[in-house]
Amino acid sequence: MKFYIETWGCQMNDHDSEKLSGLLLREGFEAVSSLDDAELVLLNTCSIREKAVHKVYTELGRLRELKQQRPLIIGVTGCLAQQEKAALFKRAPQIDFVLGTMALQQLPRLVEEALAGRRRVIDTGEYPDNHLFPAEVTQRRSTAKALVTIMEGCNHACTYCVVPNTRGAERSRPMSDILAEVRLMVEQGYREIELLGQNVNSYHGGCSFAELLELVAEVKGVEWIRLTTSHPMNFTRELAQALVTNPKVAPFLHLPIQSGSNAVLRRMLREYTVEQYLERLAYLGEGRQRFALSTDFIVGFPGETDEDFEATMLVLETVQFDTSFSFLYSPRPATPALRLKDDIPATVKLERLTRLQQRQKELTQASNARLVGRELEVRIESHGPTEQGHWMARTGQWQNVHLSAGKDRQLTFGSLARTRITYAGPHFLGAELA
């Protein structure tokens, strides 16, 4: 039987799709690269903002039509599945099964039941061993870095966020499992490891996150370590030290601030003030120069005044983030922020977002421009040159690089190359071999 998985959302979802894919392959299913050839389609969904959910329902509409023309088993998993549970069947009766985020390993059983003709098969239960996925089963996509889960779930309670609900409370994977997986990844040829969790800083699977970084860095063959993602309140001095002193940690830190206004942060229940956030960033010390800084902003949170927004613009100037992701606040089901009065006109919210994004673009451009003329190691992320003649690569600071290597030069996918940066735009750097 042929299957196809569609994925929305964050790296955790990307990686879950790799796990789900592995489970189906183990059962003898065959992966196909197009929906047209699929007999089973699995939607791995995200519910972080309304837009993400909208995309899923649009796709479900398309699948309903397809299912009227030919046999098709439709499964839904991911955060929307965990959030809506059986209500999904009411909204979209074409769905055959619903699989929760903490029941991934039940996939083969659910598919089997659906194939046997059972209707509305569902498992959104919380399995105590859901974070102990067998590493050798995972079917990785062919990217230059290997995603490795170290913890799942979130114990924070930001008032706008569905994640504590859709991913459950924190569970940490035992450190021996993680290290065994990292070794397996190196054996398979990976040189870059991205450690994943909703809040990696609060890892506690037998050691602290700072200690885990140390252990992963000691695995022979590991060149770069990345981490996604961190809550500022769990960003300790010890961890900051571990990041800046470990040469294998890629110099990129994503630390979401959300707003520059203490009043807004309080209503978001972020547990820090702007001053505390800045203090924590300062833990990086000298390392701050070497690290690219990234953050998330939510614009138009209920009650955000002009002054609140100016405070956000100010923090952007103060920190000079190298890059950031900014979103309009999206009201989410079963979140406490729904109770807050949200009376800012949509046009005002959009103006604010546009202004912030415009300024960020300038900052990113300036930050990239500072790299021109520098020699940098980059990882080759394409198997050959594009039609425009350059190879795709990535810096440790996570900038995209278009690398001109000369016509007949062969580069190895996933390896590091020494380059000189020759051009900087807001979206990518140009480079040549050094």
- Residues near ligand SF4 (CB under 6 A): 154, 156, 158, 161, 163-164, 198-199, 231
The stretch among 99-107, 245-253, 273-281, 324-332 that binds ligand SAH (CB under 6 A) is 324-332
Q: Which is nearer to ligand F3S, 12 or 281 (CB)?
A: 12
Counting beta carbons within 10 angstroms of the beta carbon of residue 183, is it exposed (0 to 12), middle (13 to 18) or buried (19 or more)? Answer: middle
Residue 329 found at the interface with ligand SAH (CB under 6 A):
yes
Q: Taking the C-alpha atoms of 334, 336, 339 and 342 in order, what is their torsion angle to the nearest 10 degrees?
A: -100
Among 15, 167, 270, 402, binds ligand F3S (CB under 6 A): 167
- Please list, in sequence order, all residues whose beta carbon lies within 8 angstroms of the beta carbon of residue 110, skipping any fewer than 6 positions away: 75, 97, 99, 121, 122, 123
CB of 135 vs ligand SAH, minimal distance in Å = 23
Residue reference for tokens 């790299």: 371
Residue 256 found at the interface with ligand SAH (CB under 6 A):
yes
Q: Which residues pair with 292 in a beta bridge?
A: 252
CB of 269 vs ligand SAH, minimal distance in Å = 12
The pair of structure tokens assigned to 11 is 């790296």
- Dmax over CA atoms of the chain, in Å, equals 64
Partner from ligand SAH, ligand F3S, ligand SF4, none contacting 329, C-beta within 5 to 8 A by type: ligand SAH
Among 45, 324, 330, 399, binds ligand SAH (CB under 6 A): 330
The pair of structure tokens assigned to 288 is 């701050």
> Helices 237-245 and 209-218, interaxial angle, to 10°?
20
Residue 157 found at the interface with ligand SAH (CB under 6 A):
no
Partner from ligand SF4, ligand SAH, ligand F3S, none contacting 296, C-beta within 5 to 8 A by type: ligand SAH
The whole-angstrom separation of Cα 418 and Cα 414 is 13
Residue 327 found at the interface with ligand SAH (CB under 6 A):
yes
The pair of structure tokens assigned to 177 is 């499992």
Among 49, 55, 359, 420, binds ligand SAH (CB under 6 A): 49
Partner from ligand F3S, ligand SF4, ligand SAH, none contacting 49, C-beta within 5 to 8 A by type: ligand SAH
Single-letter amino acid code for the residue at 236: T
Q: Cα dist. 342→305, 326, 337 in Å?
A: 11, 18, 9
DSSP string, 74-118: EEEEEHHHHHHTTHHHHH-TT--EEE-TT-GGGHHHHHHHHHTT-
Instruction: Kindly calculate the radius of gyration of the chain based on its CA atoms and give it in whole angstroms.
Output: 22
Single-letter amino acid code for the residue at 152: E
Residue 97 found at the interface with ligand SAH (CB under 6 A):
no
Residues in 33-52 that interact with ligand F3S by CB under 6 A: 46-48
The whole-angstrom separation of Cα 141 and Cα 272 is 37
- Please list, in sequence order, all residues whose beta carbon lies within 8 angstroms of the beta carbon of residue 289, skipping any fewer than 6 positions away: none
Q: What are the phi and psi torsion angles at 48 (to 5°)?
A: -65, -40
Residues 2-31: x where in contact with ligand F3S by CB under 6 A, - otherwise, as a string: -------xx-xx------------------
CB of 274 vs ligand SAH, minimal distance in Å = 16
CB of 228 vs ligand SAH, minimal distance in Å = 9
Residue reference for tokens 């959009």: 350
Counting beta carbons within 10 angstroms of the beta carbon of residue 136, is it exposed (0 to 12), middle (13 to 18) or buried (19 or more)? Answer: exposed
Q: Which is nearer to ligand SAH, 229 or 364 (CB)?
A: 229
Among 52, 196, 292, 298, binds ligand SAH (CB under 6 A): 298
Partner from ligand SAH, ligand F3S, ligand SF4, none contacting 190, C-beta within 5 to 8 A by type: none
Q: Which is nearer to ligand SAH, 173 or 402 (CB)?
A: 173
Among the listed residues 183, 179, 226, 227, the one whose alpha carbon sits nearest the alpha carbon of residue 206? 179
Residue 29 found at the interface with ligand SAH (CB under 6 A):
no
Residue 161 found at the interface with ligand SAH (CB under 6 A):
yes
Residue 48 found at the interface with ligand SAH (CB under 6 A):
yes
Number of residues that bind ligand SAH (CB under 6 A): 18
Q: Cα dist. 263→42, 218, 267, 309 in Å?
A: 42, 43, 6, 11
Residue reference for tokens 């989410």: 332
CB of 373 vs ligand SF4, minimal distance in Å = 38
Partner from ligand SAH, ligand F3S, ligand SF4, none contacting 164, C-beta within 5 to 8 A by type: ligand SF4
The pair of structure tokens assigned to 377 is 């190691």
Q: Which is nearer to ligand SAH, 22 or 153 (CB)?
A: 153
Partner from ligand F3S, ligand SAH, ligand SF4, none contacting 330, C-beta within 5 to 8 A by type: ligand SAH
Binding site for ligand SAH (CB under 6 A): 48-49, 154, 160-161, 163, 198-199, 229, 231, 256, 258, 296, 298, 327, 329-330, 332
